[in-house]
Amino acid sequence: MALVLEYDFGTEEEFVKFRLQNPHAYNSHWYSQRETIGYWAALAIVGGVSAFMAGHYFVLAVFVVVFAIYAYRQGPTPKRYWSLVRKSFGENRKLRVRFEVLDEGLRQTVCDMQSFIPWSAIRGFVLFEGILFIQLASEGMTAVGRRNLVPTSGIDDLMRVLKEYSIEELPQPPVYADPASEASWIG
């Protein structure tokens, strides 16, 4: 079996891997911020009602504008949260990865370092945001990047081979869910 994939794996792919392994990350962030947001909302209500009852409409207007600006700039939005997570991965570095499918299993070479994964150590796979993730029995995960540099084979070919070896395709992770029910989507 001569299936070889060669691709670059960088921070963008690491970010996608983080999102796959932590599908509830944004919701957890939101729930951790709700107490602070609750205090600010209570403060805004008390201040607004006090200014209104005292007839200080200008103070009420200033108070509402200041709170609205704070809520807009500091509120935990998914876009802001994911941009902070993306920045935390640092500079965009790229590693050249060579992935070979052998009769005994999979061989992955990164920076002249080889790892071998026997077929019995593979629990499943999932295609998430264009990257193929392979779940290992050790609860680890390996990934096959989006842009293959070898034109004769691709992710579709690798998925076909995995199915031939009776390796199950895992379901897509939940996009948004209650973090209290944070059961691992990968068994």
Neighbours of 133 (CB within 10 A): 21
Digit-coded pLDDT (tens) for 114-128: 999 999 999 999 988
- Number of helices (H) and strands (E) in the chain: give both, helices first: 5, 8
In terms of Cβ atoms closer than 10 Å to its own Cβ (0-12, 13-18, 19+), residue 171 is: exposed
How do 168-169 and 122-128 pair as beta strands?
parallel
Q: How confident is the model at residue 107 (pLDDT cuts 50, 70, 90)?
A: very high
CATH of 3-20+92-174, one of 3.40.50.1820, 2.40.128.50, 1.25.40.10, 2.30.29.30: 2.30.29.30
Q: How confident is the model at residue 109 (pLDDT cuts 50, 70, 90)?
A: very high
Q: How confident is the model at residue 75 (pLDDT cuts 50, 70, 90)?
A: low
Question: Average pLDDT for residues 88-110, to the nearest whole number?
Answer: 85
103-111 contacts, C-beta under 8 A, 24 or more apart: 103/1, 106/134, 106/142, 108/142, 110/9
Question: Average pLDDT for residues 19-26, to the nearest whole number?
Answer: 74
For the chain, the structural domain boundaries read 3-20+92-174, 25-88
**For residue 177, what pLDDT is reported?**
41
Q: How confident is the model at residue 27 (pLDDT cuts 50, 70, 90)?
A: low
- Strand-pairing partners, residue 124, are 135, 168
